[in-house]
Amino acid sequence: MKKLSFLILLSTLLLSCNTNTTPGLMIETESILLYHGETAVLGASSENGLVYYKSSDNSIATVDNNGVVTANLVGTTYITVLDGKEAIACKITVTPRYFVEINPYVVFGASSAEVKSKVKEVFIEERTISNNTAEKTLVYYNQTTDEKSRITYEYHFYNDKLTFTGVFIKSGVEFFNDMMHYLDETYYFNNEYKNADSNSAFSLERTYKCICHKSNLKVYYKIPVTEYYMQFSPSN
């Protein structure tokens, strides 16, 4: 009988302890998947007081004081929720909606031999500027032989160091309608303006910052869009 009474008392104490335990800081989910431009609310609560939010990389996703997460660029970041005593992180993944197979080699300063060993596209030719032997260009394409003019890569060197990479895309490429969306979700958009170069075949220019590989991107085109020229260069 005494043994039974002891067990009942022990159970009562355990239940009492569980009831009085405060949950502290809590979030509704530990991961969120978004497309560029989408938003989601990261619900959080705390017994310790007010909740604060902080993004580890604002270029990928930002968060406001109400926990509203806005997806910016494709990539992964973490939103940290804090209440002054505890901190919990929520993983934010911004996934691409548009898939455009443009893979320029942008390790600036690399030698021509390094580029040749890394680039997987089909080699076309090596060009040297006649009045300046220090400058040369390696030209590649990534389609079949009869379509080699569709996407062309140009790697420009000075004293055998890669200075900038050009990508020329001509009409007929199926992903043309998705190109701008791809650029906006992949690279940080800076500005768009009319191209001041009167000799250029392109009337518009867009500038981007490439966070992923620390380079600048200029995109030249005209309306209606039938051709693009993309120029990747080292960031300042």
Give the pLDDT confidence of 83-116 residue by residue, as tens digits.
888 899 999 999 999 887 788 999 999 999 999 9
Going across the sheet that includes 151-158, the strands are: 122-128, 135-141, 151-158, 161-169, 228-234, 215-221, 204-210, 188-194
Judge whether 152 lies within some domain: yes
d(CA 180, CA 201): 19
- For the chain, the DSSP string reads -HHHHHHHHHHHHHHHHHHH----EEES-SEEEE-TT-EEE--EEESSS--EEEES-TTTEEE-TT-EEEE-SSEEEEEEEE-SS-EEEEEEEE--S----------TT--HHHHHHH--SEEEEEEE-TT-TTEEEEEEE-S-GGGTTSEEEEEEEETTEEEEEEEEE-TT-GGGGGHHHHHHHHSEEEEEEE---TT-S--EEEEEEETTTTEEEEEEE-SS---EEEEEEE--
Indicate the number of domains in the chain: 2
Same domain, 85 and 190: no
pTM above 0.85, yes or no: no
Q: Is 128's pLDDT higher than 90?
A: no
Query: In this structure, are 90 and 117 located in the same domain?
Result: no
Give a yes or no: residue 15 inside a domain.
no
Mean pLDDT, range 69-94, rounded to an integer: 94
Quote the domain boundaries for residue 208. 112-234
Q: 176 and 116: one domain?
A: yes
pLDDT digits (tens, 9 = 90+) for 175-189: 666 778 888 898 888
CATH number of residue 88's parent domain: 2.60.40.1080
Is 145 inside a domain boundary? Answer: yes
